[in-house]
Amino acid sequence: DAKTTQPPSMDCAEGRAANLPCNHSTISGNEYVYWYRQIHSQGPQYIIHGLKNNETNEMASLIITEDRKSSTLILPHATLRDTAVYYCIVRVARDDKIIFGKGTRLHILP
């Protein structure tokens, strides 16, 4: 079973920042937080990952709380192409399978 909890759906206006929350209260010390998304009819796409520190790349930012029990994925300027299901995943520090939960369906509104 997935070890994360996410809201089933969210709306965000185009051009605004989309903030997607994730709870992972049982995360252990060697587990990373990963985010993937699946745009309709495509394969899942890696977005970002982190362990303790906040991370930023060209797609998004990841904010992890100090106790590591929750995190937030931030898409700074959402576009219609960001409409997708977003998955928050915790993975151990090895080449492990991904356990997908239900994710958050993000709707970007024009």
Only one of the segments 5-13, 65-73, 75-83, 97-105 lies at the binding site for other proteins (rule: CB under 8 A); that segment is 97-105
Choose between 13 and 92: whose C-beta lies nearer to other proteins. 92
Instruction: State the residue for tokens 């009819």.
Output: 41
Choose between 32 and 107: whose C-beta lies nearer to other proteins. 32
Q: Read off the tokens for 74.
A: 């931030």
Among 3, 7, 14, 49, binds other proteins (CB under 8 A): 49
Give the integer Cα–Cα distance in Å for 39 and 76. Answer: 18
Tell which residue, 79, 72, 80, has the closest CA to residue 104: 72
| Binding of residue 7 to other proteins (CB under 8 A) | no
Q: Read off the tokens for 22.
A: 């994730």
| Binding of residue 45 to other proteins (CB under 8 A) | yes
Choose between 14 and 38: whose C-beta lies nearer to other proteins. 38
Q: What is the DSSP string of 10-50?
A: EEEETTSPEEEEEE-TT--TTEEEEEEEE-TTS--EEEEEE
The 77-96 site mask, x for binding other proteins (CB under 8 A), equals --------------xxxxxx
